[in-house]
Each structure stands twice: as structure tokens, then as C-alpha cells.
Chains A and B, each alone.
Chain A
């Protein structure tokens, strides 16, 4: 049987979470934190004392190079034993530690999917603006270590756009607002091609929301074990946060009816096992507010996300702008915050309308220009839209011809991975 007859493996490596699964499925098989717990005592020693050290470890019954864990297991191991250190191989959407990344992939393939990498084509994803060297590194690891027969590296927002493929008529023109854990990108795509010059980054993502909530909770004097506080803040964020339409009004609502708005979090102290409580109040809407009023979080950045989305569209070719406003697609876990899409749509619409009104006024106010349709598209799978788009595309017959093959790699080397053709399936 040929590898092309088996479903391709689709892996979307994110800063926060990695989504792993097979093409053709609607959901990834696994969504696990992108983290590796490594036994540092080993990698430090191994630099100097070659063989003797290996023997010592062998005799101690440890296969030291396999002494590591990924995902949730990594987090629990690290909590219960001081031998392990956590390494986050991806920072701000870019692979940053290739040793950890390779180990992470190894376990994704053999321990989670349990598949033989030689038997499947692979579709991996990368953040926009990834330097071509990284792509070459990825290719090297995939072809050399894992012997994959074919590899395609998709750009995350393009895949997110392709996620709409089955639900409606496939629209490959739109702006993707991908708000993940470590990076936010606003990427205009026209007919499947990224409009490279117009990509905008936004320095705030899910991790920042968590950090902000953690800080607010701490400042308010809520008691929780410090080593747990980031994790608690994340859970609180995912369970209770929502986007308000106006913070002043929201403060008012909370103050009038605290019992209705204040939520409670109950946890257990890891050391003593004693339960603890904390209240969650203003954090619920202040956390997500940093996308719309960044100055409350950061002193050196104050352009709101809707303004960045608008300027992104304004910087692309004039004849695509209307189509882009009409299809603003959300992707990434952080866009799951309640009512995020409503607020974004309202604020972008405000900016656009103000601009139209101003230009109408400049022209004397006799002719009214046709109002611009602003449409923020939200769908239930948006938290793993990138993965889903990959899953859909990797099922099309064109996928296999767009892949770089092992034979090509052996002929030309890693540089073939620098460019990844946009293929027919994307229209």
C-alpha cells in the first residue's frame, strides 16, 4: 500500500497548544500543551564525558535520551519531581529550541498518534513571517529523523481560511485574525495567496490575557498558591471571561449586582491539599479588554486590535478591500472568548463608517457612497480552525502533488522546503 492511500498526519504546532490528528477527521485526535519536560542532569553531563557517562546511565537502568515527557504529562511530572525542567519549544509562534521540538514531534508521532511516520504524508503549519531557515530545519528533521515520504508546510492563517471550505462555498479571499497563545497575526489573503506586505502583527495574545488576569487577581489580594496562579488565571479566563461592549457600563453592572456577576474559583493547594477560594470579578471583562484598549496592559503599545485590522485592509489593493471587509475570519483559541466577534465587528464597522462619512462630507455631502459591509465570521471550530483547514486540504488529491517528497529532498536538500506552493484545493 502506498503512503498516499493512508490519511495524512496533520500537526498544528502552536505556542500554547499543539493539535495532532489525521486528515479527514473533523477534530484533532489530541490537543496538548506544547511543552517538554527534560531531564537536564543528563544533557549537561553528556557534553563532556562521552561513553563512560552512557555506561553509567545504562547501568542505572535509565535510557537517558528517552527520559522526557510532553504535553500534560510533562506538566504533571515537573510538578511532582525536581529532576525535570520544562522547555517550551515554540515562542511567539516560532520554533525556538530545535532539540525540544524534535523530541516533541517524536512523542507526538510515536506515543500519541502511534503511527509509523514512513507510512504517512505530513502537513505541518507555521506562523506567517517564519524565516525560510526554520522551514528548512523542519524539513531536515522530518525527512532525516522521521523519513516521512512527503511534507507540506502550510501557513496557519491560510489554513484557517480553508477551514470554511466545507461549510460554505469556499471563499479564499478574506482577512484572518488569528489570536493564539503567543502571537496574534492579521493576514489578508486574496484567492489563496497571502498579501505578504500587508500582514500585521499585534503584540498581545492569549498568554497576555492570562498574565493580565493573574496580575489583577494578585493585586486585588486573592489568595492562591503562587506556583498555581498562572494556571488558575488561565482556567478563570477560559471559563469566565467575556468581552463587554463598554467597560464603564460593565463596572456599573458589577457594582449594582455583584452576586450576579462575581464568579468563584475553588482549587486545592498542591502541597497541603487544603482547598482555597477566590472571587473573580472585574477580571472577567478587563482581561479581554486589552485587545480593545491595550494601554491598560502595556505602556508601549496603544493601538487597538480593530484599528490594526482596519489598517491592514487599508494597506492592501483597493479592489480587494470590500471583499476583505466582508470576510474577516477568526481563528485561534483566544477568539473563543464570549462576544469577541461582536465587539470586533462593531469596532471595525465604526472605523469604516467614520471614514465613509468623512469622505462623503469632503465631497459636499450630495453623493452618498455605498456603505461598506463589515462581516466578522465566527464558527464553532474556530479554536482549531488551522488544524481543521489542514485536515480538509490534506484530503484533496492536489495535496499529494503539492508536497515535497523524500526523493526531492535527497536530490536537492532542505532548501526545497523554503517555498510551499499554494495549491488548487485552496480556491
Chain B
């Protein structure tokens, strides 16, 4: 997996199994937490097995951001637009959540393909709600306009108490991410990852991708941003999106990628740490082999299967075992 997919695997699985085994209409009450503190609470009752109560809680917005009745601007319209007759938004939402929707699954379209597409859309509720403002801005960009009633610099929440910034213009939208990481090793890895990322953008094949830049200090675009929001320990990344990037069906993917850019970097930082550990284990392994060769010949202890004893696991025979 290179990119984080938009639909939540968990939500999609629940929806699909509900529709596949309608006879197993048991009561269900479960919760799940995704990256950046997006939480879901799912409820099904026995009495009304076709109706799903889905509550979503969003990351706490930093002070520079105003939510409208608990949601980012344009979210209500986006929900209604995405789910149509299926959805009923409950007001007020369940305690502790930003949004509670009642989804009537009996109103799903009968056509297999359309139905699946709508389930995926429900599982992508995060993109619909949190991505609503970016979608509005980028939709206007596609028709080379600026969305009305916006500040020159728009802050949008993407992580708890953290925002990223958009400068909407008619011909382009500039997007700036202050990158922050908790762990000092992550900061180092993320910084070099981002520099490589910018470097990679320059290679021939990617001429049409949005230009991107990394800087250690806040770029000029953030002049007007509140000071607490322009501190970042892994620098600032800037993308410039042009109308050609958001034409037609590209829009959805762009919205999701922009919304989760920080999570994307964070995921790859963790992956590279894992990758380095694999390399380190191999290295240790080969050094141990060198040491072993230097030892005088002693009788090899028999490998006892299935239980390996207190001897340190050696990678080589671990791999040999797994192939057997």
C-alpha cells in the first residue's frame, strides 16, 4: 500500500456484511478510531436492522478555525449531496460526536455497481465531511473562479489542534502544510523524506504534477497566519494546484490526498523505520555469521522443532522455516 485509501475498511466491511447476510440482523454497537483522531461509532438495532446510526467525531479545531454547528463549512450540503435520500442528519448529534447520521440502507439503489459505489461513499464519510471546504475551493478553481465569502488565507483542520492553509486564487490554489512530529527520529526522517519528495517531483516523468516546495521557515503565504500555527519542527511543504489538476474525476483524489498529506508522510516515515530495521537485522545476522565462522568447530545443537528454545532467533533459519 503506497497511498492511504479514502474509504474506511472497517465501515465498508460492516456495511457489506450487513447487506450480504440480512438474516444476521443482530444488534451492533462498536467504535473505531482512525488517524488524526477521527472516531466512528456505529449502531444497529434489532428492531430496525436496515437503519445504521453512524456518528463521527472530528479532530478538535485550533482556535483560528470556526466550525459551523460542529462541522467544517459546506459539510452539511456535502453530506446531503453525497448520500441523498439515504441520510437523515440528527440534530443534535450524539454526545461527544460532531455528526450523527441515520442511514436507511433499504433505500440503496438495486443496481449492484451503483450500490457498491454508494457504500464506498458512506465508508468515505471522512473525506465528505472534512474535505468539504477544499472541495468547494477546488471546484471553483476548476472553473477559474474564487469561492465567495473566503478570507485571503483559509485555515482548515487536518489534525487535532493543527491546521493547514490554502490561498485560493482564480488561476491557482496554494496549499501550505506546517509539518510537525512528536518523535525526534521521526522529525529527521520526515525532513529528509520531504526533501527527497520535492526532488522526485523534478524528475522528467512528473512535469505535470503540482509544483511542490519544502522550506525550513514559514513561506511568505503564511504572513497573516496566527503565530502559534506557523511553528513546525519538520519544515513547511507548499503545493500549487492548477485548474488542470482538478478537472473532472481527478477532483476526488486530489481532495483526499491534500486532506491526508500529513498522514501520508507519517505512514511513510514509519515504513522506512521498519525497512531500516529489516536491513539492520540482516546486517547483524551477517556479522553473527562472521563471528560464528571464527569460532572453533563444536557440535551443532540440533534444531528442535516445533518449539525453538531460548536461543536468539536467527534470521536465516527463520526464513528457511517459513519456506518449508
Contacts and interface: CB of A to CB of B under 8 A. Distances in A.
A102 B277 contact: yes
B274 A27 contact: no
B31 A147 contact: no
Nearest to A61: B205
Interface residues of B, number: 47
Interface in B257-307: 263, 266-267, 270-275, 277-278, 281-282, 306-307
Contacts of B263: 116
Interface residues of A, number: 56
A91 interface: yes
B315 A30 contact: no
Interface stretch (A129-137, A164-172, A281-289): A129-137
Contacts of B160: 1
A365 B234 CA distance: 83
Interface in B20-44: 29-37
B130 to A, nearest CB: 14
Contacts of B275: 65
Nearest to B310: A131
A6 interface: yes
Contact of A98 (B29, B270, B273, B315): B315
A115 B313 contact: no
B30 A145 contact: no
B312 interface: yes
Interface stretch (B6-14, B101-109, B207-215): B6-14
B9 A92 contact: no
B278 A99 contact: yes
Interface string A106-140: 11001111111111100000000101111001000
B150 interface: no
B319 interface: yes
A144 B273 contact: yes
A115 B36 CA distance: 8
A134 B313 contact: yes
B2 A147 contact: no
A97 interface: yes
B318 A110 contact: no
Contacts of A47: 282
A251 interface: no
Contact of B36 (A63, A107, A116, A146): A116
B274 A100 contact: no
Contacts of A112: 9-10
A106 B60 CA distance: 27
B33 A97 contact: no
B322 A100 contact: yes
A103 interface: yes
Interface string A134-164: 1001000100111100000000000000000
A250 B317 CA distance: 44
Contacts of B30: 25-27, 29
A142 to B, nearest CB: 11
A230 to B, nearest CB: 15
Give the interface SS of chain A, mostly helix, strand, loop or mixed: mixed
Contacts of B273: 144-145
B261 to A, nearest CB: 14
Contacts of A103: 274
A386 to B, nearest CB: 18
B37 A118 contact: no
B182 interface: yes
A106 B313 contact: no
A147 B319 CA distance: 26
Contacts of A99: 278, 281, 315, 319
B205 to A, nearest CB: 8
B34 A114 contact: yes
A150 to B, nearest CB: 14
Contacts of A117: 270
Given A22-B32, A118-B183, A147-B186, A133 B307 contact: no
Contact of A91 (B4, B272, B306): B306
B10 A133 contact: no
A7 B4 contact: no
Given A30-B13, A97-B321, A144-B277, A65 B271 contact: yes
A373 interface: no
Interface in A362-376: none
Nearest to A89: B322
A145 B322 contact: no
Contacts of A65: 271-272, 275
Given A118-B182, A131-B309, A97 B266 contact: no
A411 B268 CA distance: 27
B312 A145 contact: no
Given A110-B267, A112-B9, A129-B307, A98 B35 contact: no
Interface in A26-49: 26-27, 29-30, 47
Given A98-B315, A137-B313, A1 B1 contact: no
Nearest to A28: B30
A87 interface: yes
B28 to A, nearest CB: 9
A6 B278 contact: no
B271 A141 contact: no
B308 interface: yes
A153 B312 CA distance: 19
A66 B2 contact: yes
Contacts of B13: 29-30
A408 interface: no
B322 A87 contact: yes
Given A106-B274, A145-B270, A113 B32 contact: yes
A110 B321 CA distance: 27
A145 B33 contact: no
Nearest to B275: A65
Nearest to A183: B306
Contacts of A94: 307-308
Contacts of B309: 131
Contacts of B186: 147
Contact of A24 (B2, B31, B35, B307): B31
Interface of B: 1-2, 4, 8-10, 13, 29-37, 60, 160, 182-183, 186, 263, 266-267, 270-275, 277-278, 281-282, 306-310, 312-313, 315, 318-319, 321-323
24 contacts: A6-B37, A22-B32, A27-B30, A29-B10, A29-B13, A30-B9, A65-B272, A87-B323, A96-B308, A96-B313, A99-B281, A102-B278, A106-B270, A106-B271, A110-B270, A111-B1, A114-B9, A114-B35, A116-B263, A129-B307, A131-B310, A132-B310, A134-B313, A141-B274
Given A26-B30, A145-B270, 5 more contacts: A65-B271, A91-B321, A97-B322, A98-B315, A107-B1
